[in-house]
C-alpha cells in the first residue's frame, strides 16, 4: 500500500535581515516580509512561527482584497497598491509592496509616528530590492 508523501513546505530565502532597522524604531513591535502567495519570507525574532504564518496568510488575502476593491472602485483591473494601513485599539499594521509578489508588513503600538515608520519601510524596500536584484538595472536613458 502506497502512503502519500508528506506535504513539503516551500523553501524561501530568509529576508529577516531587512527588518532589523525597522524593529529599532520606537513603538515598532513586529515586522515581516511576506510573499504574495501567503508564505513568510522573514519575520521579527519575537514573532512565533504559527503567528507569523497566520500573518502571512491573512496579509496575502488582505493585499489581494485591497487590489480587488481598488480595481472595482476605479474600474482599472491593473490597480496597484502603494500602502495598506489598519488601525486597531492594539496598534497599527502597515503593509507596502516590496518587490515582485512580496510585501513588507509592520505592526506598531498606537503611539507610533506613522510617517517615520512609512519612510523607513520605503528605505528598507529599496535596500531589499538592491540586495536581491540579480541582474544590472537596464539603462532607460536617452543615448545622446
Q: Is 142 among the domain residues?
A: no
pLDDT attached to residue 112: 98
118 membership: H or E segment, kind and range: helix 114-132
Q: Please, which residues bridge with residue 71 across strands?
A: none
- Whole-angstrom Cα distance, residue 126 to residue 140? 19
Q: Is 6 among the domain residues?
A: no
Written in H, E and C, the secondary structure of 41-101 is EEECCCCCHHHHHHHHHHHHHHHHHHHHHHHHHHCCCCCCCCCEEEEECCEEEEEEECCCC
Q: Is 104 among the domain residues?
A: yes
Q: Is 139 among the domain residues?
A: no
pLDDT attached to residue 134: 44
Say yes or no to pLDDT of 74 above 90: yes
Say yes or no to pLDDT of 143 above 50: no
Query: Strands 28-35 and 40-43, how do they pair?
Result: antiparallel
Say yes or no to pLDDT of 141 above 60: no
User: What DSSP designation does 10 have?
Assistant: P
Say yes or no to pLDDT of 82 above 60: yes
Q: Is 138 among the domain residues?
A: no
Say yes or no to pLDDT of 66 above 60: yes
Say yes or no to pLDDT of 56 above 90: yes
Q: Is 1 among the domain residues?
A: no
- Whole-angstrom Cα distance, residue 70 to residue 43? 28
**Residue 88's domain spans which residues?**
20-131
Percentage of residues of the chain with pLDDT beyond 70: 79
Q: Which residue has the cell 505592526?
A: 107
Q: Is 7 among the domain residues?
A: no
φ/ψ (deg, to 5) at 92:
-120, 145
Q: Across the chain, what does the average pLDDT equal?
A: 84
For residue 82, give the CATH number of its domain. 3.30.450.30
45-69: average pLDDT: 93
Residue 16: which pLDDT band, with cuts at 50, 70 and 90? Answer: confident
Amino acid at each position: 500500500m502506497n502512503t502519500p508523501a508528506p506535504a513539503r513546505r516551500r523553501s524561501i530565502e530568509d529576508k529577516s535581515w531587512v527588518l532589523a532597522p525597522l524593529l529599532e524604531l520606537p513603538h515598532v513591535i513586529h515586522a515581516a516580509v511576506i510573499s504574495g502567495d501567503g508564505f513568510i519570507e522573514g519575520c521579527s525574532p519575537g514573532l512565533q512561527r504559527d503567528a507569523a504564518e497566520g500573518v502571512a496568510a491573512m496579509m496575502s488575502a488582505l493585499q489581494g482584497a485591497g487590489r480587488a476593491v481598488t480595481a472595482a472602485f476605479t474600474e482599472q483591473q491593473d490597480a496597484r497598491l502603494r500602502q495598506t494601513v489598519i488601525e486597531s485599539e492594539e496598534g497599527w499594521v502597515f503593509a507596502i509592496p516590496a518587490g515582485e509578489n512580496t510585501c513588507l508588513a509592520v505592526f506598531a503600538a498606537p503611539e507610533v509616528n506613522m510617517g517615520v515608520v512609512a519612510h523607513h519601510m520605503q528605505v528598507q524596500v529599496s535596500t531589499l530590492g538592491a540586495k536581491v536584484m540579480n541582474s544590472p538595472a537596464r539603462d532607460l536613458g536617452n543615448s545622446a
